Structure 1
Amino acid sequence: MKFGKYLEERKSRLPEGWADKCIDYTKLKLFLKTTVYLHSVKLDPTQMTWDSKDQPSFAQLLSERLAKLQISEAEFINMLDAEVLKSSNFFIEECVRLVAEHDKIVAVRVADGTSTNSASTAEKTAQLLQDVVTLERFVFLNYTGIIKILKKSDRHSGLSISDPYLFRVSSLPLVRAEKLSVLKQSLMNEFNYQNLHPNNVFRPSATPTPLSARRSPFSPTLLPASTFPPTTLLPNQKVLVSLSGPHGTDIIGAVLSCVAQHNCDIEDFMFSRLYHNVTFGVLITFKFQNVAIFQDLAAQARKWDATLTFDVPDMQATEPGTKAQLTSNGQIYLPSSLDEAPYENRVKYTATVLNQNGLTPGFLFEWTQLLLANRISVEKMARLNEGMISCADYKLSMPRDVDMEKLREKLFDLSRSHGTDVALQLNDVFRKNKRLVVFDMDSTLIQQEVIDEIAKYAGVVGEVAKITEAAMNGEIDFKESLRRRVGLLRGTSVDVLQTVKANLTFMEGARFLCRALKKIGFKLAVISGGFMPLALHVKYELGLDYAFANQLKVSSDGLTLTGETVGPIVDGQRKAELLEVIAQAEGVTLDQVIAVGDGANDLWMLAKAGLGIAFNAKPRVQQQARARINQKSLKHVLYMLGYTDEDMKQLHDE
């Protein structure tokens, strides 16, 4: 809700007559809108042309605005001063009244020596404590109103008066609330003592001193270690504090020193850095609503040349179009963390964007527009590579009604038009805990198609290449294409397999990727529609754990190929079945499996795996796959898992 409505709603909860003693936020806001804003020095740059003859010069316009702003802003400050003094004077009156009430209770108890567990004593103590808490709420409500109206003034006038004004206000009893703090501490001590020692008789100090002299009437030796009242009597007000500036760890320490000094609870915190500039935000809960903490925070901000902001989370959005709410017992409802605060109850995804030649502004702009069009919000961005930015991880939150199929189609068009890959994955525990990678072999782990290489020596390369192309594009059934191609190899010497094996060229990054994955505990497999002797060679060279492929039949004398295969054909469906078998053997879920391939016969295993990557694949395969890599090196698979260049260096060095 807007702060004005929030303030009015909270004022309605105060005792009768107290609302009129609060600052009139609505009146101050209206004055700003009708007077101060009209003379703002935040000029519209689109109207500031150099040689316009129809308007005054820039210097003249600025001079005129400053003159009017000086008058209107001074009037605003006078109005604000009057409102602050109204609230502060009422606070002083209430403090005097509450202290006097407590002194009467103490005087009666000292004179009569009544037991601490009498019904009237307990009731009066509890009621007085509740009155103190109510007055604290009055203080905090008004102080928050002062902050809010000053922020509005700064934002729209172009001036920065919040910090000096708040420092000026910090000397008022309304902010320091010293007597109220002493009274509350004393009442909490008495409240706890009465509950923990119900049979004891009240024994004051030898010379009891009234509270107005700032001492508790109890001997310190009688006080229990814990001096907090029931949670129903505590304010439980949450405040989001943020400090931004050029000193990283010092800024963290500055905020936490104030939070510790004022005995606040820390609900959550966040830290971000851009070169030497950092922002540290902390969500705190007040146990005692002594707003002197803001004076101390302001002093720390000046000390470290930092910018201080804070807000009450009742005005923080939990999702576009919604706001934080109060629970039935008056507690402020908040998301589980500051990360979740803006976009709770959405589906979380990770998007990895990758272009080895660099992410262009044009792509990044269109990518962002696509997110906006689908109401997808960016929660975090992190670059993964060193040097010119070419790979970044986005943490996204999506509305649950996003049509994922249509979104993937748009992502494919965007990727194709910019030559930039976008891999979208659920941002869950399985994204970070993949355990098995299954590779296709031809044009994935190696740069050749082995059947085409064999065909060169058999003299049928042209015929085989045509069938291979048709199969890769999904134009003919893989089993049929394999039968036709193998049939063309009839009579070829088996020695050709050794020749092909010796001339295999591994894909760029294949050796590094496999070594790196093995070092971090992955199991690796190759499942190929090619042939077993070559798949075993690849397994040995890359240190894989499994190899499956088709087995060529040889003549009875072992010298030539017969043009046939032996055993089940490893087609697309068979690849998916083998992937599942390996996963079961290794005790991992399919969500923990990565599949990498380039052909139409890889689509089944790409769909079966938790992350299916089309590597430099045919257009039809790319369109159906959930992730694509169209870069030269297989090492980019590690980016899809969130690994950075620094991580890769460590894996290489070890």
Structure 2
Amino acid sequence: MTDLLPGDKPETLLITLSGKDRPGVTSSVFTALSGAGVEVIDIEQIVLRRQLILGILVTAPHNAKKVRAAVEETAASLGMTVDIDRGAGDNKSRRDGRSHVTIIGTPLRASAMAAVAGRIADAGANIDRIERMARYPVTAIDLHVSGADTDALRTVLAPEAAGHGIDIAVQPANLLRRGTRLIVMDVDSTLIQGEVIEMLAAHAGYEAEVAAVTAAAMRGDLDFEASLRSRVALLAGVPATALDEVYDAIVLAPGARTLVRTLRRLGYRFALVSGGFSQLVDRLAEDLGIHFSRANELEIVDGVLTGRIIGPVVDRAGKAAALREFAAEIGVSEAATIAIGDGANDLDMLNAAGLGIAYNAKPLVQDAADTSVNVPYLDAIMYLLGISREEIVAADAEAGFVTPAPPIG
């Protein structure tokens, strides 16, 4: 408590120091303030390229001049500049309507940041804090924004993402971003590069035909189940050993293993839900340490593919149903799930999830998803979850993994 004379009112001061960072700056400032009997209301501090900016909001007693003198003397001894402004209260009015706006660019240009900041201001919102999540191999920036509805921000920022060739994800700032979550991923052209059915069709001499039908189905031009059965029929007579050859040729999306191992350390659960084939998807799940998998089963008789599927087809509705089933099994709400996919077959799953991410997806899917990631690194999705590249590299180093060093700059 501060001692006020009758009729005195406490004065709110915003103290901002800036200058070269060094050990002991924050300690020195608060030592000076402690002698003036102030009450600390809010603190923000950042260090950028060894330059410190420290903001402290305090309620000063009647001897505000003593506070100013103490802080100015300390700043001078540290070789730093200081600004002291009068204010009123804390910044509670800015705390309503809080969102995280994550921006990913390769590169991220000043013009794009200007456009994003402008639209946030137009929406009546304020950028309270800015954090760098990554600088290599993409630049990722997280903005803490308050004062506007999350959906409204998403709407006004979507055109800027398209116009500037960047990815922008807008999410509510709530506990779900930090809690244990279930991540459900598509496989073909999401977790892995390419389409497995096309690789199998190459063994039957129908790769081009199957590729054309697959592309149409992923755009949403064809009924998925009918198109899948017609494509699988072309695989009749292919030896089952081709499945092993295809599996050995599968190339994971860059960052896939990093994504899984990092989030598993944090308690996340994973599922693969695919319109592809269980003979391959289940093996991928086992290889990567993924908890659940759901896919179509190819019929094999006497060591040969028959061109038929056993059981019901995992289609759009089947993928969404699998997401709900896995979430219920581990006891998390649908709001705590994340779905990642690229094709029309993923739309129901993306809509069912708390956060639906279109990953290098078809235009139809990008328009329907909560957000899009169009860089070729699956682990960039972690930046949307508030996990920085520096944290990922540090965790890998502790576990004995070696990650590429970023360029100097």
TM range (shorter): 0.7 to 0.9
Amino acid at match of 1:422: I
Amino acid at match of 1:607: N
Residue 579 of structure 1: aligned partner: 323
Residue 641 of structure 1: aligned partner: 385
Residue 89 of structure 1: aligned partner: none
Percent of aligned pairs sharing the same letter: 31
Question: Which residues in structure 2 correspond to 1:477-626 (within 5 Å)?
Answer: 477-555=223-301, 558-626=302-370
1:133 is the counterpart of 2:9: no
Question: Which of 94, 113, 123 is the matching residue for 1:364?
Answer: 113
Partners of 1:575 and 1:458 lie apart in 2 by 28
Partners of 1:366 and 1:241 lie apart in 2 by 30
Residue 198 of structure 2: aligned partner: 452
1:526 CA displacement = 0.7
1:475 CA displacement = 0.9
The structure-2 alpha-carbon separation of the partners of 1:488 and 1:382, relative to structure 1 and needing over 3 Å to count, comes to same
The structure-2 alpha-carbon separation of the partners of 1:275 and 1:577, relative to structure 1 and needing over 3 Å to count, comes to same
Partners of 1:313 and 1:505 lie apart in 2 by 58
1:501 CA displacement = 1.9
Residue 285 of structure 1: aligned partner: 59
Maintained 8 Å contact 1:245/1:251:
no
TM-score (structure 2 length as normaliser): 0.88
Residue 140 of structure 2: aligned partner: 391
Question: Which residues in structure 2 correspond to 1:22-171 (within 5 Å)?
Answer: 132-134=5-7, 137=8
Partners of 2:175 and 2:150 lie apart in 1 by 22
1:279 CA displacement = 3.1
1:598 CA displacement = 0.9
Amino acid at match of 1:265: E
1:236 CA displacement = 4.0
Partners of 1:425 and 1:442 lie apart in 2 by 26
1:439 is the counterpart of 2:189: no
- Which of the two has greater strand per residue? 2
Partners of 1:365 and 1:391 lie apart in 2 by 15
1:353 is the counterpart of 2:103: yes
1:475 is the counterpart of 2:233: no
1:247 CA displacement = 5.1
Maintained 8 Å contact 2:97/2:150:
no
The structure-2 alpha-carbon separation of the partners of 1:406 and 1:273, relative to structure 1 and needing over 3 Å to count, comes to closer
Following superposition, which runs of at least 4 residues in structure 1 exceed 6 angstroms of deviation? none
Amino acid at match of 1:603: L
1:473 CA displacement = 0.2
Residue 15 of structure 2: aligned partner: 241
Q: Secondary structure at the match of 1:594?
A: strand
Partners of 2:50 and 2:262 lie apart in 1 by 33
Q: Secondary structure at the match of 1:591?
A: helix
1:253 CA displacement = 3.2
Partners of 2:114 and 2:244 lie apart in 1 by 51
1:585 CA displacement = 1.1
Maintained 8 Å contact 1:244/1:279:
yes
Q: Secondary structure at the match of 1:430?
A: helix
Partners of 1:352 and 1:372 lie apart in 2 by 16
Q: Which runs of 5+ in 2 are unaligned?
A: 400-409
1:402 CA displacement = 6.7
1:531 CA displacement = 0.7
Maintained 8 Å contact 1:348/1:396:
yes
The structure-2 alpha-carbon separation of the partners of 1:625 and 1:244, relative to structure 1 and needing over 3 Å to count, comes to same
Amino acid at match of 1:473: R
Deviation larger for 438-447 or 278-287:
278-287
The structure-2 alpha-carbon separation of the partners of 1:617 and 1:256, relative to structure 1 and needing over 3 Å to count, comes to same
Q: Secondary structure at the match of 2:177?
A: coil
Per-residue displacement from partner, 1:44-85 (whole Å, max 9, x unpaired)?
xxxxxxxxxxxxxxxxxxxxxxxxxxxxxxxxxxxxxxxxxx
Residue 94 of structure 1: aligned partner: none
Maintained 8 Å contact 1:351/1:394:
yes
Per-residue displacement from partner, 1:541-581 (whole Å, max 9, x unpaired)?
212111110112234xx333332212221111111111111
Higher relative contact order (CA 8 A, sep 6+): 2
The structure-2 alpha-carbon separation of the partners of 1:567 and 1:245, relative to structure 1 and needing over 3 Å to count, comes to same
Partners of 1:548 and 1:400 lie apart in 2 by 36
Residue 170 of structure 2: aligned partner: 424
Q: Which runs of 5+ in 1 are unaligned?
A: 1-128, 138-234, 315-333
Maintained 8 Å contact 1:383/1:389:
no
Partners of 2:81 and 2:315 lie apart in 1 by 63
Maintained 8 Å contact 1:526/1:548:
yes
Partners of 1:247 and 1:483 lie apart in 2 by 64
Residue 402 of structure 2: aligned partner: none
- Which of the two has greater helix per residue? 1
The structure-2 alpha-carbon separation of the partners of 1:250 and 1:637, relative to structure 1 and needing over 3 Å to count, comes to same
Per-residue displacement from partner, 1:301-321 (whole Å, max 9, x unpaired)?
33333333333323xxxxxxx
TM-score (structure 1 length as normaliser): 0.56
1:442 CA displacement = 0.7
Question: Which of 378, 392, 404 is the matching residue for 2:127?
Answer: 378
Residue 75 of structure 2: aligned partner: 301
Question: Which residues in structure 2 correspond to 1:307-318 (within 5 Å)?
Answer: 307-314=81-88
Partners of 2:364 and 2:308 lie apart in 1 by 29
Per-residue displacement from partner, 1:152-196 (whole Å, max 9, x unpaired)?
xxxxxxxxxxxxxxxxxxxxxxxxxxxxxxxxxxxxxxxxxxxxx
The structure-2 alpha-carbon separation of the partners of 1:253 and 1:650, relative to structure 1 and needing over 3 Å to count, comes to closer
Partners of 1:612 and 1:403 lie apart in 2 by 17
1:404 CA displacement = 5.3
Partners of 2:242 and 2:80 lie apart in 1 by 73
The structure-2 alpha-carbon separation of the partners of 1:239 and 1:487, relative to structure 1 and needing over 3 Å to count, comes to same
Q: Secondary structure at the match of 2:189?
A: coil
Q: Secondary structure at the match of 2:361?
A: coil
**Count of aligned residue pairs for this structure pair:** 396
Amino acid at match of 1:312: R
- What do you get for the CA RMSD once the two structures are aligned? 2.6
